Amino acid sequence: MERELALEFVRVTEAAALAAGRFMGRGDKEAADRAAVDAMRAVFDTVNINGTVVIGEGEMDEAPMLYIGEKVGTGIEPEVDVAVDPLEGTNLVAKGLPNALAVVAVAPRGCLLHAPDIYMNKIAVGPKARGCISLDAGVTENLRNVARALGKAVRDVTAIILDRPRHAHIIEEIRRAGARVKLISDGDVSAAIATAFENSGVDILFGIGGAPEGVLAAAALKCLGGEMQARLMPNGEEEVARVLQMGFSDPGKLLELDDLVMGDDVLFAATGITDGDLLRGVRYRGQTAETHSLVMRGITGTIRNIYATHILARKPRFVARGKDCGEE
């Protein structure tokens, strides 16, 4: 994929962030998500790719746009797989909480895992701890190995995990090992990415979250030189059947980073919607708005922070008592 496409995908995530950001703190996560989807889909129509959505808003009968299998782009080569989350953290936006993102990952056709919308068990670290984690090892063993790789004591390692009852035993073991815990209410894509940035204060991700989010996080970590291991967690016979139907011969197979994202030719873009550990949220300033985005390219390892000012659509002039009052 050409490097010029990187900026095009930032335009896609910026559009989604600008639309969703209007709903911050308004308590309506469905409206926020709908606005992000509409805006992202509209900008995709201008991007010169022949794209197929492999991770999106659901199956065709569940989502009007950005559904799995939908074609996006102008139809011009390259042929690519597209993974999207127009609003990663719907609850975060609705409640005005940090770390909501608009996210896109793109790779050549067949290079992104077509993950079903079920749970996935994950562990992730940044580049310094690459090769030091195992999903099949115990929590304490992983913490000790990561601490050794980072040149820290275990007590100085910070693990990040979704605050869910299913994680109570993991949280208890992290604390017993002496490490620190950062609990998050939603948004494990940004949490996984944070492990690859030293200034984030996060060293390792544990826990079960969505499989589509796992692929998006893996794309980012592939660009950043980090590591992720994962395993699908189908619940019941129906989900097992779905996994098998999607081509997984073994639903319980350990998935390494190269299984989630094949090859290094991957682009990842994210724009902050609410303020977070990595990205600043959207700022609206009357006729303009400011965004902060991250765009990365796996084949070169380039990481770019993009701060943009957008001119918002102006409302028409209006007249009051015969006087031209300018823009409303």
C-alpha–C-alpha distance, residues 186 and 55, integer Å: 19
Determine the pLDDT at residue 325.
Answer: 46
What mean pLDDT is predicted for residues 231-257? 90
pLDDT tens for 61-106 read 677 899 999 999 999 989 999 999 999 999 999 999 999 999 999 9
Domain residue extents for the chain: 5-112+267-311, 119-260
**Residue 314: pLDDT over 80:** no
**Residue 318: pLDDT over 60:** no
- In the predicted model, what is the mean pLDDT of the chain? 93
Strand partners for 255: 230
C-alpha–C-alpha distance, residues 55 and 48, integer Å: 19
What mean pLDDT is predicted for residues 221-230? 98
Confidence band (pLDDT; 50, 70, 90) for 58? confident
Task: Give the E-state strand segments of 93-226 in sequence order.
Answer: 101-108, 119-125, 158-162, 180-184, 204-210
What mean pLDDT is predicted for residues 125-150? 98
Lowest pLDDT segment from 213-222, 261-270, 306-315: 306-315
CA-nearest of 98, 104, 86 to 24 is: 98
Return the CATH superfamily for domain 5-112+267-311. Fructose-1,6-Bisphosphatase, subunit A, domain 1 (3.30.540.10)
Q: Could you tell me which residue, 277 or 291, shows the higher pLDDT?
A: 291
- Cα–Cα distances in angstroms (integers) from residue 16 to residues 10, 13, 35, in the given order: 10, 5, 7
pTM: 0.92
**Residue 15: pLDDT over 90:** yes
**Residue 306: pLDDT over 80:** yes
CATH code of the region 119-260: 3.40.190.90
Determine the pLDDT at residue 328.
Answer: 45
Determine the pLDDT at residue 217.
Answer: 98
